[in-house]
Structure 1
Amino acid sequence: MAMVSVQADDGCNNDIANLVNECKQFVLFPANPKIPPSDACCGVVQKVNIPCLCNKVDGRIEQMLCMEKVVYVAGYCKRPLAPGSKCGSKFFFM
């Protein structure tokens, strides 16, 4: 059983690494302008475990990432956050 949870965590960590590599330029501060993400970024967004990633967002990450841009990129890539969902310390009602 422990092996499964380690693999699931590793998968989420791999998602983070892939997102950083492909999407960081589209989600960093400042909040504007919002730049449409690349096809490569959207390809990664389509595959990631969003709830797992949102659980890993902490205050340190929120200082680097513009959560408004994260929501924009997710929506642009056709993986919008569900209304009322929580990512890090923020709730989204879009």
Structure 2
Amino acid sequence: MSMAKLLGLFLVLALVVAARADECEGDRQGMRTECHKYALFPSEPKIPPSDACCNVWKNANIPCLCKRVTKEVEKIWCMDKIVYISQYCGKPLEHGYHCGTYTVPALGQ
């Protein structure tokens, strides 16, 4: 394989890796823009999210977002409110699902 082809292949692989690293950055930005006021502490009261927040949630790559939830994020975003948003918006997180270190409880808990 020529050096030019090898360099081209490396460039393509680098772009694929970079794209995957940012695959849910748009979702993260949407959550910050549209949902933050519904998801911040304290855990009560829970305020019904806006249609714009629900649209972000319904279209978001939730597994990707949850992989990026750190303990620092969990200090800012109330995960109980995230579960509320998910239920309210019609795309609920399942009982036992892990988002960061948070485990979604059974309904009513």
How would you bin the TM-score normalised by the shorter chain?
A: over 0.9
* Structure number with bigger Rg: 2
- Does the residue aligned with 1:26 lie in a helix, a strand or coil? helix
The answer as to 2:99 corresponding to 1:75 is: no
Q: Which residue of 2 aligns with 1:28?
A: 40
Which residue identity is paired with 1:30? P
Task: Within 5 Å, give how 1:1-94 maps onto structure 2.
Answer: 1-94=13-106
Distance in 2, Cα, partners of 1:48 & 1:6: 19
Q: Which has the higher contact order (CA 8 A, sep 6+)?
A: 1
Q: CA deviation at 1:4?
A: 2.7
RMSD: 1.2
Q: CA deviation at 1:68?
A: 0.2
Which residue identity is paired with 1:91? T
Q: How many residues get paired?
A: 94
Distance in 2, Cα, partners of 1:93 & 1:44: 23
What 5-or-longer segments of structure 2 have no aligned partner?
1-12
Identity of matched residues, %: 44
TM-score for both structures, normalised by structure 2: 0.80
What 5-or-longer segments of structure 1 have no aligned partner?
none
